[in-house]
C-alpha cells in the first residue's frame, strides 16, 4: 500500500513544480509591471520584484490575443483607503491609466494614483502625478491603506482552510478514536507538533496551554509557503509586515506567560555578584528583544530568497533562448527549476518547523520553573 502511494506523492510534487514553472513557460505569458512581455534582464528583474511585492488585484495569468492586445485573467480586490476627505472604498478594477501612463481613479472628489503598488492622493487641482529626479511623487502623498490586497486575501483563504480542516479533525474524533477522511492527514502532523516540538521545549506541565498557538502558526506558515509555490503567486510569508506580526505574537505570549523566575533571570540574575547583575541586566533585555527579530528576519529572508532564485532560474529560458534555442533553453531552465522547487518544498516545511520550534523554545524558557538551592 505504501509503495502504491509513492507515485502519487511524486506526481503531486511534480504538479506543484510544473505549475509554478508555467509562470515563465514560453516567455510569451510573462509580463512586466506595465503589462508588456518580459524579454530582457532588466524586465526580468522588474517582474521578480513585482511578484515579491504585494498587489491590489489578483492576476492568475496573462496572454496575448490575436489582435496583439495583452489580456490579464484574474479578479479585482477591494481598495479601502483613508484620505483627506475620509474613508474611500472601491474595487481595484476602477484604476485606469491616464495619458501619462499613471494609474488614476477619482472617487468622491479625491484623485488617487497607484504608483508601484502604493496608493497616493493627489493634491487638490492636480490632474497628473509629477516626479522629481529621484522619481518621487512631488504633488501626491500616501494614504492610510486598509485594502484587501493579494497577501491579505491569501491569509484569509488559508485561515478558512485551516478552520474547516481542524473542524473536520475535531468532528472525526467525535466518531471514534481514529479520525476518518482528510482528518487522517492532519492527525500525524498535529501529533508531531505536540510530541516533537511542544512537549520537549515547554514541558509536560505547561505545553497544553500553548498548543493552539503552536498548531496555528505551524500550519499557517506551512500552507502559505506551499501556496507560494503555485501559479497563484502568493508571497505572503515573504512580506516583512506579516513575519513581524507573527513574531510579535510570539513575543507577547512569551512576556505575558513569563513567571517570576523568568523576570528574575532578566533583571536580577540569581547566583552572581551584584556588579555582574547590573552588567547582565541590559544584555538580557537586549536578548529579550532580539528573539522576535531573529524569528521574523529568518522567515522573511529565506522565503524571499527562495522565490527570487526559483523565478530567476526559470527566467533563464528567456536569456538562453538566443544561444541554445527555445527547446534547449526551456529544458535547461526546467531541470534547474525542478531541482530548486523540490528544495523549496522542503524549505516550506522547514521554515514552518523552525518558527514553531523557536517559538516553543522561547515560551518554554519563560514558563520554566527554576530550582535555586
Q: Distance between CA 297 and CA 238 in Å, rounded?
A: 10
CA-based angle 114:117:120, to the nearest 5?
35
More confident position, 193 or 32:
193
Instruction: Output the pLDDT for position 196.
Output: 92
Fill in the DSSP letter of residue 131: B
Element (H, E) at 216: helix 211-227
Instruction: Output the pLDDT for position 10.
Output: 44
Sequence-separated contacts (24+) of 247-250 with Cβ below 8 Å:
247/292, 247/293, 247/295, 247/296, 247/299, 248/292, 249/213, 249/217, 250/217, 250/291, 250/292, 250/295, 250/358, 250/359, 250/362, 250/363
- Spatial CB neighbours of 63, under 8 Å, sequence gap ≥ 6: 28, 29, 70, 71, 73
> Sign of torsion, CA 309 314 315 318?
positive
Cβ-based neighbour number of residue 345 at 10 Å = 16
Task: Examine the pLDDT at 373 and tell me if it is beyond 50.
Answer: no
349-367: average pLDDT: 92
Q: Distance between CA 231 and CA 18 in Å, rounded?
A: 9
| Residues 184-243 pLDDT 10s | 888 889 999 999 999 999 988 889 999 999 999 999 999 999 988 887 778 889 889 999
Residue 249 binned pLDDT confidence (cut-offs 50, 70, 90) = very high
- Spatial CB neighbours of 67, under 8 Å, sequence gap ≥ 6: none
Angle between the 321-367 and 260-267 helix axes, to the nearest 10 degrees?
110
Which backbone phi and psi does 304 adopt, to 5 degrees? Answer: -65, -45
**C-alpha to C-alpha distances, 252 to 221, 241, 245, 310, 366, nearest whole angstrom:** 19, 16, 11, 35, 11
Cβ-contact 254, 366 below 8 angstroms: yes
More confident position, 16 or 310:
310
- C-alpha cell at position 186: 492532519
- Which region among 105-119, 155-169, 254-268, 274-288 has the lowest average model confidence (pLDDT)? 105-119
How many H-runs (helices) and E-runs (strands) does the chain carry? 11, 10
Q: Distance between CA 84 and CA 88 in Å, rounded?
A: 10
Instruction: Output the pLDDT for position 184.
Output: 80
Instruction: Output the pLDDT for position 325.
Output: 67
340-365: average pLDDT: 90
Give the residue among 222, 251, 250 at the shortest CA–CA distance from 237: 222
Q: What is the mean pLDDT of the chain?
A: 78
Task: Examine the pLDDT at 118 and tell me if it is beyond 60.
Answer: yes
Instruction: Output the pLDDT for position 165.
Output: 87
Q: Would you give the distance in Å from CA 100 to the centre of its chain? A: 33
pTM strictly above 0.95: no
| Residues 121-166 pLDDT 10s | 888 777 777 777 777 777 788 888 888 888 899 999 999 999 998 8
More confident position, 10 or 132:
132
Q: Distance between CA 47 and CA 32 in Å, rounded?
A: 5
Q: Distance between CA 224 and CA 236 in Å, rounded?
A: 7
Task: Examine the pLDDT at 11 and tell me if it is beyond 90.
Answer: no
Cβ-contact 54, 150 below 8 angstroms: yes
Q: Distance between CA 125 and CA 332 in Å, rounded?
A: 54
Element (H, E) at 71: strand 70-76
Cβ-contact 67, 84 below 8 angstroms: no
Fill in the DSSP letter of residue 15: H
- Which region among 18-32, 34-48, 311-325 has the lowest average model confidence (pLDDT)? 18-32
Cβ-contact 311, 48 below 8 angstroms: yes
Task: Examine the pLDDT at 344 and tell me if it is beyond 50.
Answer: yes
Amino acid at each position: 500500500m505504501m509503495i502504491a502511494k509513492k507515485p502519487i506523492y511524486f506526481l503531486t510534487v511534480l504538479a506543484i513544480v510544473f505549475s509554478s514553472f508555467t509562470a515563465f513557460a514560453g516567455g510569451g505569458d510573462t509580463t512586466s509591471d506595465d503589462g508588456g512581455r518580459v524579454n530582457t534582464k532588466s524586465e526580468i528583474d522588474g517582474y521578480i520584484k513585482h511578484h515579491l511585492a504585494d498587489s491590489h488585484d489578483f492576476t492568475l495569468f496573462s496572454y496575448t490575443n490575436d489582435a496583439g492586445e495583452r489580456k490579464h485573467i484574474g479578479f479585482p480586490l477591494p481598495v479601502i483607503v483613508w484620505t483627506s476627505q475620509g474613508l474611500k472604498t472601491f474595487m481595484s478594477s476602477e484604476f485606469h491609466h491616464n495619458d501619462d501612463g499613471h494609474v488614476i481613479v477619482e472617487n468622491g472628489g479625491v484623485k488617487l494614483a497607484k504608483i508601484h503598488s502604493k496608493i497616493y492622493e493627489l493634491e487638490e487641482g492636480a490632474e497628473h502625478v509629477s516626479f522629481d529626479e529621484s522619481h518621487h511623487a512631488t504633488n501626491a502623498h500616501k494614504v492610510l491603506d486598509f485594502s484587501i490586497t493579494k497577501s491579505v486575501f491569501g491569509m484569509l483563504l488559508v485561515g478558512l482552510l485551516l478552520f474547516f480542516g481542524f473542524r473536520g479533525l475535531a468532528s472525526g474524533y467525535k466518531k471514534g478514536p481514529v479520525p476518518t477522511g482528510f482528518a487522517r492527514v492532519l492527525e500525524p502532523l498535529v501529533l508531531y507538533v505536540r510530541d516533537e516540538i511542544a512537549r520537549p521545549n515547554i514541558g509536560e506541565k505547561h505545553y497544553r496551554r500553548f498548543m493552539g498557538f503552536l498548531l496555528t502558526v505551524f500550519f499557517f506558515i506551512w500552507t502559505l509557503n506551499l501556496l507560494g509555490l503555485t501559479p497563484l503567486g502568493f508571497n505572503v510569508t515573504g512580506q516583512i509586515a506579516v513575519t513581524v506580526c507573527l513574531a510579535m505574537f510570539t513575543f507577547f505570549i512569551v512576556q505575558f506567560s513569563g513567571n517570576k523566575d523568568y523576570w528574575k533571570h532578566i533583571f536580577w540574575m540569581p547566583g552572581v555578584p551584584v556588579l555582574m547583575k547590573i552588567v547582565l541586566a541590559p544584555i538580557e533585555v537586549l536578548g529579550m528583544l532580539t528573539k522576535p527579530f531573529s524569528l521574523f528576519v529568518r522567515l522573511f529572508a529565506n522565503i524571499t530568497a527562495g522565490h527570487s532564485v526559483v523565478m530567476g532560474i526559470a527566467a533563464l529560458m528567456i536569456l538562453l533562448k538566443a544561444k541554445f534555442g527555445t527547446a534547449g533553453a526551456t529544458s535547461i531552465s526546467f531541470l534547474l527549476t525542478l531541482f530548486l522547487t523540490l528544495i523549496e518544498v522542503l524549505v516550506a516545511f522547514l521554515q514552518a518547523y523552525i518558527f514553531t520550534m523557536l517559538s516553543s523554545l522561547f515560551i518554554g524558557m519563560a514558563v520554566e520553573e527554576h530550582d535555586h538551592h
